[in-house]
Structure 1
């Protein structure tokens, strides 16, 4: 790798700009939220406790009676909207989540339908999530403090080209439109309730006999011999021949137990308010942080930068890391010269995977601002396309710490086998159960074409489950064993041409030299859902395997000294189990 980064013209370097040295950069990179503060735990706790609260709510609470009519539950709809918005804010806008989670905790305690213990569990989960968000925000502030310490007392204004960039315009407009749609839905629902209540105040209450059922409706005979069709959410709850209370106002009529149903408007408002609130939160937070960056002189750090090889991210390195071995942070940048005052680079791709950057030249750069997780920076670097030129870039997605670098242990690599973790096995088990359920109709008597289609899809899910349950890559003295869902592939070290990290289309790819050329052996989806890869505190096993195997391939001294048993494919075992289950379904009555 080149030791001569693309130079930055000295005229672009402000006086007193300090270099971000490897020691200070390592302290910044090592300062990460604790494992318990990972947003996945908060989301799991909230979702689990809410599910328990719903499951333990007495059935009588959902029954409409004439003594307790089913009025439109606007408070419940608001709490549910806030809860679903929290699922997004906890992940993307922890500041908003920390401010509103206590409100959700109080609302859950105020709710009376579910048992108090279940409501209290929801409140505890909400407060725990609030503490986790505050911890993540505190870590970001401490990262900024470390950057300020490394930058020293000097402060400098942003380059003029960076002052015209405006963050959050597209997302803010989209969020505002969605929230306006949600408000319109709420107004329409309230107007419908008010109109129905006005009819109810003028109406006469009569006892009517149920004569038939329709789709969400009842046919009733009135005492004067007239017949009406009235709305009923569950008509089967009213037996034929029974007498029900009906309110009649001219041509208008409804059941006493079932006032106007605003559920449709409430669902529409919820569907618009949740993404609208998330978009608006992301937009306002990014806009506020960008405005703070442009408010006055900011600290400047001399660093090195390099574009990612397989993504649209730029990776920042310490100023003395001329080999580009340990990236400090990753950020999505937009050239300020192409933005202008009227454009808005808001294509938010913070969920894009961050593979290890390789193969792109390093550039000398200046980092304007105090970087912290979720923050905003401006990067000024040497322009690779124009010798002597300067490239000014602004973030259009929050800054993220780069993956921690992995180095081999002295005398070899400690980890020599990598396989499915408990999350992947749970996913594989779920896919297997679903696949068996989809194929089960073929075991019965006659099967329709829909059953055949379902069975084909189920078999595909079983194939994916076989890989997820027990994939394994093992390195030993003579080569690499690649255990997929159905067979074990043995690749000698001499035949292993390269090991490539996961990209947008594939999983870990092994390039194997054969007599006919080079063959690709790809294990896909080894690292779980892509949206979780960047948020996991520990690097997924598949990505650790890439680091280790590529190092072992190029340096024989790092290879293990003994042979290691390969994994066992789960596919044949899974097929035998499915056949046994289907056989029992046929034999047993």
Structure 2
């Protein structure tokens, strides 16, 4: 193990105590369990939703069951897609969205005529019910995992404040010069949400205009004489032959009777009202992206305010950095590096110490030989190869998703230390924490 790169003395480093191993272990144990890992809830929801879509009976467009725009299904689909992202990145949204989708799924089962009643789709109704139940179970798993993660955050905050023994520094002395970027995703998210609302209103206006015209139109019954991929040729009772555009011509059998609405040169099937699918897709894409960006922007704003408001607790820790820039965080008395606390990837400065400029070449040679410089050992294994060990000062209260700032030894010989912000993630998340800016102290 290389000797740690020590922090030089300075106003932000002097007198800062180390994070004791026992306190750090208790903090790590207070984190969320492995069952709450977002990967499981994301995979469960993805698989169950796909299966539910595949086994769901497809309704046939008819005069009694017209295929109009499905706003109910749009909301359900949008939230289900959004949860694939929110389960991993925005558990706060999951707490609201998951129960909403579950209610929509259950309500949809009781209101779907072919599934709930067993009617024309009675043979597959049991499969559909089982698929919907699996979706609800996946939603429950995601909701419970999100609640566990948010509860663990509060537990870790309280435990850190009670046991860490950290000193405090004015936030202005630490965060001066760091960028503030929360406004960009927040503004973009609000703009996209406004576009989604506009698309929804335009779609609803088209639906209402179609309904008003249909109410004034003349109803004519006709027999299907011919059909193409986009239209139906009909024969009316008075012997006329008319052609009507159709979105689902395959739903109408040759020789069957359909009802046509006519208003001058305008005509359509009663079974196929105005389809606002274009506006619905626009609302879906912009709405999902807008909600996610707005949530991300609000979270970034909250993190920025947390770092810049009041005093910041400070503790001395170690960062063990590998050749790819990943760094595990350790307590100061964890000299054997047996208890990593979090994982980081620094993108804004080179991860090697000043006296280790040849480390990449040496590390490459070790990778070719295997561990211990013996041919063949370690081949095919993905192990943490230690390149440098840094003494750092961590400012802020750590928990999953928390904003923290690190004071690390600078690589530039003209500077003493570099201040870089990051976000805490649990080890099981597999996520890498990237700095979003840095400032230097001389």
- TM-score scaled by structure 2? 0.76
Q: Which residue of 1 aligns with 2:44?
A: 45
Q: Partners in 2 of 1:328 and 1:364 — Cα distance?
A: 15
In the alignment, does 2:391 pair up with 1:364?
A: yes
Q: Which runs of structure 2 are paired with 1:65-214 in the superposition (5 Å)? A: 65-111=62-108, 112-113=111-112, 114-115=115-116, 119-152=132-165, 154-160=167-173, 162-163=175-176, 164-214=178-228
Please report how far the alpha carbon of residue 73 of structure 1 lies from its aligned counterpart in structure 2 after TM superposition: 1.4
The 1:355/1:80 distance shift into structure 2, 3 A limit, reads farther
Q: Which residue of 1 aligns with 2:363?
A: none
Deviation track 1:117-163 (CA, whole Å, cap 9, x = no partner) reads 65454334323321121112222333333332343264322244625
Q: Which residue of 1 aligns with 2:126?
A: none
Deviation track 1:162-193 (CA, whole Å, cap 9, x = no partner) reads 25532433433443344344333323322221
Greater alpha carbon shift after TM alignment, 284-293 vs 66-75: 284-293
Q: Partners in 2 of 1:280 and 1:34 — Cα distance?
A: 28
Deviation track 1:453-509 (CA, whole Å, cap 9, x = no partner) reads xxxxxxxxxxxxxxxxxxxxxxxxxxxxxxxxxxxxxxxxxxxxxxxxxxxxxxxxx
Q: Partners in 1 of 2:134 and 2:411 — Cα distance?
A: 56
Q: Partners in 2 of 1:212 and 1:294 — Cα distance?
A: 72
In the alignment, does 2:312 pair up with 1:298?
A: yes
Query: Given that residues 30 and 152 in structure 2 are in contact (C-alpha distance below 8 angstroms), is that contact kept between their aligned partners in structure 1?
Result: yes
Please report how far the alpha carbon of residue 34 of structure 1 lies from its aligned counterpart in structure 2 after TM superposition: 2.4
Q: Which residue of 2 aligns with 1:5?
A: 5
The 1:159/1:2 distance shift into structure 2, 3 A limit, reads farther
Q: Partners in 2 of 1:142 and 1:48 — Cα distance?
A: 32
Deviation track 1:87-131 (CA, whole Å, cap 9, x = no partner) reads 110111112102322222222222122446654543343233211
Query: Given that residues 14 and 156 in structure 1 are in contact (C-alpha distance below 8 angstroms), is that contact kept between their aligned partners in structure 2?
Result: no
Q: Which residue of 2 aligns with 1:519?
A: none
Deviation track 1:393-440 (CA, whole Å, cap 9, x = no partner) reads 112xx312347xxxxxxxxxxxxxxxxxxxxxxxxxxxxxxxxxxxxx
Among candidates 224, 248, 254, match of residue 268 of structure 2: 254
In the alignment, does 2:290 pair up with 1:276?
A: yes
Q: Partners in 2 of 1:8 and 1:150 — Cα distance?
A: 26
RMSD: 3.1
Query: Given that residues 38 and 132 in structure 1 are in contact (C-alpha distance below 8 angstroms), is that contact kept between their aligned partners in structure 2?
Result: yes
Query: Given that residues 171 and 309 in structure 2 are in contact (C-alpha distance below 8 angstroms), is that contact kept between their aligned partners in structure 1?
Result: no
Q: Which residue of 2 aligns with 1:216?
A: 230
In the alignment, does 2:24 pair up with 1:25?
A: yes
Structure number with the bigger relative contact order (C-alpha 8 A, sep ≥ 6) is: 2
The 1:65/1:388 distance shift into structure 2, 3 A limit, reads closer
- TM-score scaled by structure 1? 0.59
Q: Partners in 1 of 2:391 and 2:46 — Cα distance?
A: 46
Q: Partners in 2 of 1:390 and 1:533 — Cα distance?
A: 28
Q: Which residue of 1 aligns with 2:330?
A: 317
Q: Partners in 1 of 2:279 and 2:415 — Cα distance?
A: 60
Q: Partners in 2 of 1:98 and 1:234 — Cα distance?
A: 38
Paired positions, count: 383
Gaps of 5+ in 2: 117-128, 350-381, 433-442
Q: Which runs of structure 2 are paired with 1:323-402 in the superposition (5 Å)? A: 326-332=339-345, 356=384, 358-360=386-388, 362-386=389-413, 389-395=416-422, 398-402=423-427
Q: Which residue of 1 aligns with 2:364?
A: none
Please report how far the alpha carbon of residue 306 of structure 1 lies from its aligned counterpart in structure 2 after TM superposition: 5.0
Deviation track 1:323-376 (CA, whole Å, cap 9, x = no partner) reads 65654222355779xxxxxxxxxxxxxxxxx9736213x333211111112211
Q: Which residue of 2 aligns with 1:64?
A: 61
Q: Partners in 2 of 1:386 and 1:239 — Cα distance?
A: 82
Gaps of 5+ in 1: 337-353, 404-531, 536-589
Deviation track 1:434-455 (CA, whole Å, cap 9, x = no partner) reads xxxxxxxxxxxxxxxxxxxxxx
Query: Given that residues 8 and 381 in structure 1 are in contact (C-alpha distance below 8 angstroms), is that contact kept between their aligned partners in structure 2?
Result: no
Q: Partners in 2 of 1:133 and 1:11 — Cα distance?
A: 39
Please report how far the alpha carbon of residue 287 of structure 1 lies from its aligned counterpart in structure 2 after TM superposition: 2.3
The 1:196/1:205 distance shift into structure 2, 3 A limit, reads same
Please report how far the alpha carbon of residue 308 of structure 1 lies from its aligned counterpart in structure 2 after TM superposition: 4.2
Query: Given that residues 334 and 393 in structure 1 are in contact (C-alpha distance below 8 angstroms), is that contact kept between their aligned partners in structure 2?
Result: no
Query: Given that residues 175 and 279 in structure 1 are in contact (C-alpha distance below 8 angstroms), is that contact kept between their aligned partners in structure 2?
Result: yes
Please report how far the alpha carbon of residue 7 of structure 1 lies from its aligned counterpart in structure 2 after TM superposition: 2.3
